[in-house]
Amino acid sequence: MTIPLATVVSDERVSARRRRRAGGRRGGQPAGSSRTAGYLFVSVYVVLLLALGVAPTVYAIALALSAPGGVGFAHFINTFNFFEFAPAFEHIFEFEGIWLATQTVFVVTLALMVHTLAHRVSSVFRFIFYLPGAMAGAASVVVWLFMFDPHTSPWAFILHAFHFQQLANTVVPGNLPIIFAIMAFFTGAGGWIVIMYGALNNIPRELIEAAEIDGSNVFQTALRIKLPLIRKWIVYMLVLSFAAGSQLFVEPQILAVATVGEVPAQWSPNQLAYYLAFQLDRFNDAAAISVDLLVIGLLVAVLLVWRGKLFEVD
């Protein structure tokens, strides 16, 4: 969650600088020496990006496209025909559907509600919401293992209400999308509430006051004024969350080890790719699945950015 937070800050700075520039110099371009410094700073990042971001991607695409007769889609066709291929993508879409829907509804609703509170009260709430997010990744899975085991869970009575007598009952395949959605929700929602709150704070005070003078009540202000103004942030949250969710790996992988296979080690596409590469030594097929994920992530991002008008200036 640190990345989006940083982006919020930098985004504010950028717009502030833009405003300053627009009012100040006509050309809006920084002077010579500061431009060199800018290139210098960026170059470090560009080198790292090329080495650790672009090069592996190009390598994966090359691996995926290399076929016995040169270049071809043999590995894509291969993997597409794997019995685990379609279920893995079904799993991930089911998970994303549940997770993104609940996350969007709860994050936006809670952020709007918290934003109506006095600052000191709201900061307490934001802190509480954020707390579960402090425990991310592998650590959270380990804690959730306790939570989902009726023998150790403090909420055992809820699990018993669903007739779950032991961990094996809780993690049956049909429950997994919901289980991973619950994990992802509590890990991520708090951070996004903080970001949405920041976005809400960006709304000019005069605008809300004007609405109130015109007789808008709390609900109308929230739905008609605030919500449209943070739409881009919601789209931004969806783009990032979708990409992260489609690459789900740590949670099912640890559950697979902890349940010795009741959660299959090929549950998500990323796990299937890992299994192919590192258990069966089939790197090309694994690369093909990675490229599939890349394409899906890009397509969804482009769709959301385009439909959500993310990069348009108001």
Partner 1 sequence: MFHTVSSSIAMKLWRGRRRGHRTALITCTALAVAGGSVAVVGVATAGAKAAAKPLIVWIDTSRVPYEKAYMAANPHANIKWVIYNGNENGTGVLQSKFALWNRTGWPSNAPDVMFDTQNYDAVQLATAPYSDLLNLKKYVPAKVLKGYAGSTLAAACEAGGQIICLRNDNAAVVLWVNPTLFNQFFPGQTPPTTWTQLISDSQQLQASHPGYISGDIGDQFDEDYILWGNECPLNDVTASKTVTINPNSPNCTTIAKDIDAAGVEGNSWTTTGVFSSGFNPQKVVMMVGPLWYGTSVFQTGATGGVPNGTMVAYPPLTATDGAHVTGALGGGLWLVSKHSPDPAAAAAFAEYMSTSPKIQKPTVDAGLPDYVPDEAGYVSSLSSVFGDPSVTESSWKTAAAEVWNGWSPVPWSTDAVWGSTALPNLTASPPASFAAQLLPYAESLSNQARLAGYAVKSPVSAVSNP
What does the block give as tokens for 92? 């991930």
| 32 sits near partner 1 (criterion: CB under 8 A) | no
Q: By the 8 A CB rule, do 189 and 133 touch? A: yes
| 51 sits near partner 1 (criterion: CB under 8 A) | no
| 249 sits near partner 1 (criterion: CB under 8 A) | no
Between 100 and 255, CB nearer to partner 1: 255
Residue 56 and residue 263: Cα distance in Å, rounded?
29
Interface map 177-206 toward partner 1 (x if CB under 8 A): ------------------------------
Between 143 and 182, CB nearer to partner 1: 143
CA dihedral 48, 50, 56, 57 (to 10 degrees): 130
Interface map 155-174 toward partner 1 (x if CB under 8 A): --------x-xxxxx--xx-
| 92 sits near partner 1 (criterion: CB under 8 A) | no
Please name the amino acid found at residue 163. Answer: H
What does the block give as tokens for 234? 């919601």
Size of site (CB under 8 A) for partner 1? 39
What does the block give as tokens for 255? 């559950």
Kindly write down the DSSP assignment for every residue of 180-210, as one continuous string: HHHHHHHHHHHHHHHHHHHHHHTS-HHHHHH
Contact with partner 1 (CB under 8 A) among 39, 80, 155, 278: 278
Contact with partner 1 (CB under 8 A) among 130, 227, 262, 308: 262
Between 114 and 256, CB nearer to partner 1: 256
Query: 117: part of which helix (H) or strand (E)?
Result: none
Give the shortest CB-82-to-partner 1 separation in angstroms.
6
Between 79 and 246, CB nearer to partner 1: 79
Kindly write down the DSSP assignment for every residue of 23-42, as one continuous string: HS-SS-PPPHHHHHHHHHHH
Contact with partner 1 (CB under 8 A) among 29, 223, 279, 302: 279
Count of CB atoms within 10 A of residue 231's CB? Answer: 14
Radius of gyration of the chain (CA): 23
| 211 sits near partner 1 (criterion: CB under 8 A) | no
Between 176 and 222, CB nearer to partner 1: 176
Between 79 and 221, CB nearer to partner 1: 79
| 280 sits near partner 1 (criterion: CB under 8 A) | yes
Between 242 and 267, CB nearer to partner 1: 267
Contact with partner 1 (CB under 8 A) among 64, 84, 181, 185: 84
Residue 211 and residue 209: Cα distance in Å, rounded?
5
Query: 151: part of which helix (H) or strand (E)?
Result: none
Q: By the 8 A CB rule, do 297 and 243 touch? A: yes
Using CB under 8 A, which residues numbered 117 to 156 contact partner 1?
A: 138-139, 142, 145-146, 149-152
Count of CB atoms within 10 A of residue 54's CB? Answer: 11
Strand residue runs (E) in 194-253: none
Contact with partner 1 (CB under 8 A) among 8, 238, 254, 293: 254
* Residue found under tokens 């789209």: 235
List residues near partner 1 by CB under 8 A. Answer: 82-84, 138-139, 142, 145-146, 149-152, 163, 165-169, 172-173, 254, 256-265, 276-283
